[in-house]
Amino acid sequence: MRLVFIGPPGAGKGTQAERLIAKYHPAHLSTGDMLRAARDAKTEIGLKADEYMSAGALVPDEVIISIIEERLTADDCAEGFLLDGFPRTIAQAEALDEMLTKKNTPLDLVLELRVPEEELFKRLAGRGRADDTPEAIRNRLTSYANQTSPLLDYYSKKGLLQTINGLGTIDEIFTRMEGILDKIA
């Protein structure tokens, strides 16, 4: 399966992505994890990305697109992948389309995990990650609303979007995802 997983910060995407990978075994391509690893390894890209990440802003498209382009060539992606945290802008989505069209491996599905904004702020404020200051949280929610949520319409027009209610227990939410994923697995 070739999937994109979209959801605002705090929607529980990371937790559900872990469950999904344990059951269906796609390669897990999390741009947030890749950037945090680059930051911790103090690479040039990592240090530059950290300035954006700690402010809750998006890292520039060209940086993230080249990271994903390289990652998608790895052998483990041939059997399928879960893109987690990418694309986050229309420019990224268009670049992804182009990459996948060239390889003749189009997306099967885009899953949206949907949670109301008041609930997201509550969850994020309780999480305590280094980039979870109130200002960074506000910025991340704003950048989701402005830059990422247009992707929902973009993928919906392509007939790829399925939306899952992100309220409930971890098990309840995963059961909703299985209802969709079992059909394409």
Q: Residues in the site for ligand AMP, rule: CB under 6 A?
A: 9, 31-32, 35, 52-53, 56-59, 64, 85-86, 88, 92, 140
Closest approach of Cβ 182 to ligand AMP, in Å?
Answer: 26
Closest approach of Cβ 68 to ligand AMP, in Å?
Answer: 8
Q: Which residue has the closest beta carbon to ligand AMP?
A: 32
Distance of CA 56 to the CA centre of its chain: 15
Q: Which is nearer to ligand AMP, 66 or 175 (CB)?
A: 66
The helix (H) or strand (E) run that includes residue 82 is: strand 81-84
Closest approach of Cβ 56 to ligand AMP, in Å?
Answer: 6
Burial of residue 153 (number of CB atoms within 10 Å: 0-12, 13-18, 19+) = exposed
Distance of CA 96 to the CA centre of its chain: 13
Q: Which is nearer to ligand AMP, 16 or 92 (CB)?
A: 92
Measured CA distances, 133 to 28, 35, 57, 110, 136 (Å): 27, 19, 13, 29, 5
Q: Which is nearer to ligand AMP, 134 or 179 (CB)?
A: 134
Closest approach of Cβ 75 to ligand AMP, in Å?
Answer: 23
Three-point CA angle 26, 174, 138, nearest 5°: 90
Q: Which is nearer to ligand AMP, 85 or 177 (CB)?
A: 85
How far is residue 57's CA from residue 143's CA, in Å, rounded to a whole number? 7
How far is residue 69's CA from residue 140's CA, in Å, rounded to a whole number? 24
Closest approach of Cβ 92 to ligand AMP, in Å?
Answer: 6
Could you give the dihedral angle defined by the CA atoms of residues 99, 79, 46 and 67, in that order, rounded to the nearest 10 degrees? -10
Closest approach of Cβ 166 to ligand AMP, in Å?
Answer: 15
Q: Which is nearer to ligand AMP, 52 or 121 (CB)?
A: 52
Q: Which is nearer to ligand AMP, 117 or 182 (CB)?
A: 117
